[in-house]
Amino acid sequence: MDQNNNYSVGRVTSYKQMLLWDTNSGKLADFTTEFSFVIFSDKSYYGDGMAFFLADPNLPLLKHIKEGGGLGLVDGNQVLNSTKHPFVAVEFDTFHNQWDPSGGTHVGLNFNSMKSDITKPWFTDIQTWSVYNCSIEYNSSTHNLSVSFTAYSDDEQVEEYISYKVDLRKYLPGRVILGFSAATGRLYEVHTLRSWSFSSSLQSDDNINEIKPKAAPPNSNPVSEKENKIGLWAGLGIGVGLFLTLLSLLVLVCILLRKKIRGRKEELAFDLSMGDEFPKGTGPKRFDYNELVRATNKFAESEKLGQGGFGGVYKGYLKDLKSYVAIKRISRESRQGMKEYVTEVKVISQLRHRNLVQLIGWCHRKNDFLLIYEFMPNGSLDSHLYGVKSFLTWRVRYNIALGLGSALLYLQEEWEQCVIHRDIKSSNIMLDSSFNAKLGDFGLARLVDHEKGSQTTRIAGTRGYIAPEYFTSGKATKESDIYSFGVVLLEIASGRKPVELEAEEGQISVIEWVWNLYGLGRFLEAVDPKLCGEFDEKQMERLVVVGLWCVHPDYSFRPSIRQVIQVLKFESSLPILPEMMPVPTYLPPTIKALFSSVSSSFWGRS
C-alpha cells in the first residue's frame, strides 16, 4: 500500500432510505443487521477504523471529510458534537484518538459523537486478513440496542457482546440512510465488506397498521349476579397481587442478604489465601486500610504520582516504616482489576533483585485493591526522556540499560521459574535516588517453566512494545519480552517514543527509522539531540545495534538476555545485522501485492 491510501474515506450505503420511526404515530422500528468484514494492514501501526451507521440523509459528502478520526462520517468541529448531521454508529476503532478510552482497538456505540457512550476492547488480528462477523439488533419495545461481534483470543475466534438502552427517536429523524463508512489518516489499512443483510419491521408508511379501538357492545340491562362475580374476581386479583408483591420483596431481601454474606465469606477466604502466600515475618505484609488513607491524606489529588488504566498511584508516608511509599490503588471496575492485583502480589512478592521494584505490602477492602511499593524519588524513565524532569546524562542512560538487562536476566534465567513480564516499557522502569533502574508493574506477568519458556494467553501490553509474533499468535515468550526491552534501548539512545504519529513519513516507528539509518551507516543521526554530543560513541553503537538485534522481526534471530549483557559489557563482539529491516516470514504478503484483489468504488481522496 502506498501513500495514496493515507487520508482516504469511503462509504457503502443502502440504495433507499429506511423508515426508522413514524413521525405521526411515533411508532419505532425493530431492525436486525448482520455483516462480515476484514480490516487489514501489513504495518505494525494502522488506522483509523470503520463503522456501521444510521444517519440523517444530509450526511456530509466524502469530499468534505479531511480526517480519519471521524471514520468517514463527520469532520472538524462535528467530530464530538454532530447535532448538525445526527448519526448513530457502531464503530470498530483501530486507532487511539485523544477522546478514545485507553487500551487500543475497541468496539463502541456512538450517538452524534465519535466519543463512544460505551466501549469494549476488541482483540484483533489485523495483520492476518482475519474475517470478523457482527450482528446488531434493535428492540423498539425495550429500546435495547445489542451488538455481538467476533474477536480473537489466544489465536481462537471468540464472541463478545455490548448492549445499551437508547430511544433512537431522540437522536435521529424519521427517515435515515444506513450503511458503512471507513477512513484512514496518517496511518492506513484496508477495509473490505464481505457480506451484509438487513431487515426492518417498518418498510414504509403503508406497513404501519393503525390500531383502532374495538366497538363497544350494545347497551344492556345490568345483571347483579354478573356484577357480583366481577367484584369477587377483582377482590381475589387484588389479594393475590398483594401476596405476590410481598413474596417478591421477601425473596429480594433474602437474595441481598445471601450476597452480602457470600461477599464477606469470599473476602475472608481471599484474605486467608493471600496470607498463605507469605510466611509470617517474611515478604510483603497486609496493611490496614485506614493507615493508607491517612498516609495519602485521603488519597488527595496533591499526593497523586500518576494515573493509568488501573487507577492512580499515590505518595504516602508510613510512620511505622518511617519512610515514603508509593501506593497503587486499583478499582474492582478497572481494566486491571482483581486478577492482576492477585498476580502482582503473588509474583513480585517472591522475587528479590536490586533492579526490581520492591513490593512492601498489600491491602484490600470491598472495591479497593491497594499495593504498597518502595518509593522511587526519581519517577519513571519516560518522565525524564520525554517529560520535564531532570536530564539524563549518557553515563546514567547506559547504566539504566545495564540495570534493566540485569533484571531480565534474573527473571528469564536465574530465578526458579521463568517470569514473562509482558509489559516492559519506559513508564514501567522506575529510577531510585541514584538513578538506578528498577522494573515494576508485574500485573500482567506469567510464570512458566524454563523448559517451556512461553505461554499462550490473551494479548496484553502496550502498543509500540508488542512483538509482531505475539500480536499474531497470542503466545507470550522470553523473546517477546526481549523485543520490548529492545524498544526501550532505542528510546534511551534516541530520546524518541516508540511511535510518533506527528513525525514525517518513515519516522513514525522508531524501529523502522533507526534501522534505516543503521543500513545507511548513519546510526549516529538517531542519537538524542539533548545529549549535545556528550556520549561514548562505542557504547552508543552497542546500545543501538543491540536494540535493533532485540527487535528483529523474526524472533528466532533475537539474542538471549545473557548475550545482550555480554555485548553491552564489551565481552562479546557486535552482531552483523541486515542493512534493511527484515520482513517476518509468518506475516501475509504485503498489501501492495494483494491490493489489486481488494476493490471498492468507495475509496477516494478527500
The torsion defined by the Cα of 66, 68, 70 and 72, in degrees rounded to 10, comes to 70
Note if 449 is an active site residue.
no
Rounded distance, CA 603 to CA 72, Å?
Answer: 11
Rounded distance, CA 312 to CA 309, Å?
Answer: 8
Rounded distance, CA 70 to CA 100, Å?
Answer: 12
Of the candidates 84, 503, 525, the one whose C-alpha atom is nearest the C-alpha of residue 70 is 84
**489 Cβ contact partners less than 8 Å away, ≥ 6 residues apart:** 401, 543, 544, 546, 547, 550
538 annotated ligand binder: no
Rounded distance, CA 560 to CA 16, Å?
Answer: 61
Rounded distance, CA 79 to CA 87, Å?
Answer: 11
User: Is 457 exposed, middle or buried (CB count within 10 Å of its CB: 0-12, 13-18, 19+)?
Assistant: middle
The torsion defined by the Cα of 249, 253, 259 and 263, in degrees rounded to 10, comes to 150
Cell numbers 499526593 correspond to 303
Residue 8's SS3 state is: strand
The amino acid present at 587, given as its one-letter code, is L
Q: Under a CB-based contact definition with an 8 Å cutoff, are residues 526 and 535 in contact?
A: no
First CA to last CA distance, the chain: 18
Rounded distance, CA 336 to CA 329, Å?
Answer: 11
Rounded distance, CA 554 to CA 582, Å?
Answer: 8
- CA distances 428 to 247, 280, 438, 485, 526, Å, are 54, 29, 8, 11, 23
**49 Cβ contact partners less than 8 Å away, ≥ 6 residues apart:** 39, 71, 91, 92, 93, 94, 95, 105, 182, 183
Instruction: Please provide the DSSP assignment of 460-520 as one string.
Output: -S-TTTS-HHHHHH-EEEHHHHHHHHHHHHHHHHH---SB-TTSPTT-SBHHHHHHHHHHT
Strands 31-40 and 190-200: antiparallel
Of the candidates 292, 308, 472, 474, the one whose C-alpha atom is nearest the C-alpha of residue 365 is 292
Query: Exactly one of 42, 75, 423, 441 is catalytic; which is it?
Result: 423
Of the candidates 118, 80, 126, 121, the one whose C-alpha atom is nearest the C-alpha of residue 102 is 121
Eight-class DSSP state of 363? E
The annotation places the binding site for ATP at 328
The annotation places the binding site at 328
Residues designated as active site: 423
